[in-house]
Structure 1
Amino acid sequence: MIAVRKDAVANDAPPVRPSATELDRLLGDASPAEIVTQALKVVGRDKLAVVSSFGTESAVLLKIVADVDPAIPVVFLDTGWLFQETLDYRDTLIRQLGLRDVRTIHPLQDNLARQDADRDLWFSKPDECCRIRKVEPLARALQPFDGWINGRKRFQGGLRATLPVVETDGTRLKFNPLANVTPDELEAVFTAANLPPHPLVASGFRSVGCMPCTSRSEDDEDARAGRWRGRDKTECGIHTVATS
């Protein structure tokens, strides 16, 4: 178990949290549930959030989190461009898993009116579209928190291939409980927990984001091949830009 250290000189000093490097070393081979449990102990429920897209693989992390503590806050970014199926899936998983504190966050209307009044920014400047619809809203939503949990996996490739279990994100700790899991292990959790699939999976969508920037993926393609297809872009920015 990981202990939160006390200051050796001042007995009344606040606890000193382990660093991201220490936590990554200690949790490198831990199970996803153990990582979530330790994140909760180190950061505390009031200062820890889960960020979920309620996408095709999201149910696994949300099931693990719910089993540890269903009251951990869950942040969901509604960009204004999501599939209705994703919004419906969010509601389904909230009910089935008993999640108690899901916070739906929206872009600032002033930003949308000023920078994307014609709703075509996704085509002309996709990075800027992601910034005002995802990166800025997430930074705003995470302001009260000292740590956050997300569902990235190494097998997704690209910038995620060398993903640590714990890293820093500005001044926050960022936990990646599913970093080490395999596709087969994800599927096993879906089956064992009787988790419903995202409604678009049956239509060939293996990774789901915003409607204009999401397409179907072939079986022989990477699962995220349908995201920003035909562009160099592979990430929306919430995992490559510090949120503090």
Structure 2
Amino acid sequence: MPRLPDPAAAAAIAATPVDAASRAEDLVREAAALDARHAGATAEELLRLALRERVAGDVALVSSFGAESAALLHLAAQIDPAVPVVFVDTGRLFPETLAYRDRLVAMLGLTDVRSVGPDDATEQRLDPIGALFARDTDACCGFRKVEPLDAALKPFRAWISGRKRYQASSRHDIPAFEATATHIKVNPLASWSMADIAHYMRAHALPAHPLVAQGYPSIGCAPCTSPVAEGEDPRAGRWRGQDKTECGIHVSPAGTITRNKA
């Protein structure tokens, strides 16, 4: 009698690099079609498409609860306060960020905020004294932020990002819909300017992140974030002095981490 194939082995064989590449290509085509179909849509319209109509499938919103996060979170909460919000607590964030998160969650009535981060065993193995950032920022971002976020996003087909074109030279051409190797990404605020964000936050009496007043227009982990001088790129204080401009969660369909184009 012929031996039946082992289901686990069959699944492993099915999950080949060719399949992954094909899926990434499909996502690129899908994102391009969505972007063309909804060209000119407002931020509110894009969020309704993502949260109510699920045009890209099951979706989560990823937020750093950083300098400009309140605007997107407020917009989303008006449509669906139960939207899954994924927050990555790297273990190296400013205390002000954690307090700001708690304040916004309560203020906006968000009911499904999921804080994720590296597990203790991984942190002890890779960064026992907390100094990995000083010698290998990509590795530090990888286990503290990228891997926990990847795991948190597995149940979802799409995720919502707060990136904007004005923020950095590496973000100047962000579309409303784009693809990664595994997900559709929705960027409802891509076309918003710094003035748009400021106007929206004033109009809705949204509190600013406490570090903004201290010269931090972009806020990440404490060891790798510094104040920005007037006239500098808003993200100039992130990994200052390096060509690194992204932590690694924003990658191309081929898995390439964005680097500075300036």
Q: Does the pair score TM above 0.5?
A: yes
Larger Rg: 2
Which of 182, 190, 193 does residue 204 from structure 2 map onto? Answer: 193
Contact kept, 8 Å, 1:53 with 1:76, in 2: the verdict is yes
Q: Which moved more, 1:179-188 or 1:35-44?
A: 35-44
**For residues 179-218 of structure 1, what are the structure 2 equivalents within 5 Å?**
179-218=190-229
The yes-or-no answer on 1:80 pairing with 2:91 is: yes
Q: Which residue in 1 is equivalent to 2:49?
A: 38
The yes-or-no answer on 1:225 pairing with 2:236 is: yes
The yes-or-no answer on 1:235 pairing with 2:246 is: yes
What's the offset of the Cα at 1:28? 2.5
Contact kept, 8 Å, 1:43 with 1:146, in 2: the verdict is no
Q: Over residues 60-82 of structure 1, what are the superposed CA-to-partner deviations in whole Å (9 max), with x where a residue is unaligned?
A: 11011001111110000000000
Q: Over residues 199-237 of structure 1, what are the superposed CA-to-partner deviations in whole Å (9 max), with x where a residue is unaligned?
A: 111111111100000000012111111111111111100
Question: Runs of at least 4 residues of structure 1 off by over 4 A?
Answer: 241-244
Gaps of 5+ in 1: 1-16
Q: Which residue in 2 is equivalent to 1:21?
A: 32
Contact kept, 8 Å, 1:142 with 1:243, in 2: the verdict is no
The yes-or-no answer on 1:124 pairing with 2:135 is: yes
What's the offset of the Cα at 1:86? 0.1
The yes-or-no answer on 1:52 pairing with 2:63 is: yes
Equivalent residue letter for 1:60: A
Q: CA 1:243–1:208 in structure 2 vs 1: closer, same or farther (change >3 Å)? A: farther
Contact kept, 8 Å, 2:163 with 2:187, in 1: the verdict is yes
SS at match of 1:127: helix
Equivalent residue letter for 1:218: A
What's the offset of the Cα at 1:47? 2.1
CA distance in structure 1 between the aligned counterparts of 2:60 and 2:193, rounded to whole angstroms? 24
Aligned residue-pair number: 228
TM-score (norm 1): 0.89
Which of 120, 144, 150 does residue 139 from structure 1 map onto? Answer: 150
Gaps of 5+ in 2: 1-26, 256-262
Q: Which residue in 1 is equivalent to 2:102?
A: 91
Equivalent residue letter for 2:211: L
**For residues 171-186 of structure 1, what are the structure 2 equivalents within 5 Å?**
171-186=182-197
> What is the aligned-residue identity percentage?
48
CA distance in structure 2 between the aligned counterparts of 1:87 and 1:206, rounded to whole angstroms? 17
Contact kept, 8 Å, 1:138 with 1:243, in 2: the verdict is no
SS at match of 2:235: helix
CA distance in structure 2 between the aligned counterparts of 1:226 and 1:27, rounded to whole angstroms? 34
Q: Over residues 124-172 of structure 1, what are the superposed CA-to-partner deviations in whole Å (9 max), with x where a residue is unaligned?
A: 0000000000110000000111110010000112221111110112232
TM-score (norm 2): 0.83
Contact kept, 8 Å, 2:49 with 2:55, in 1: the verdict is no
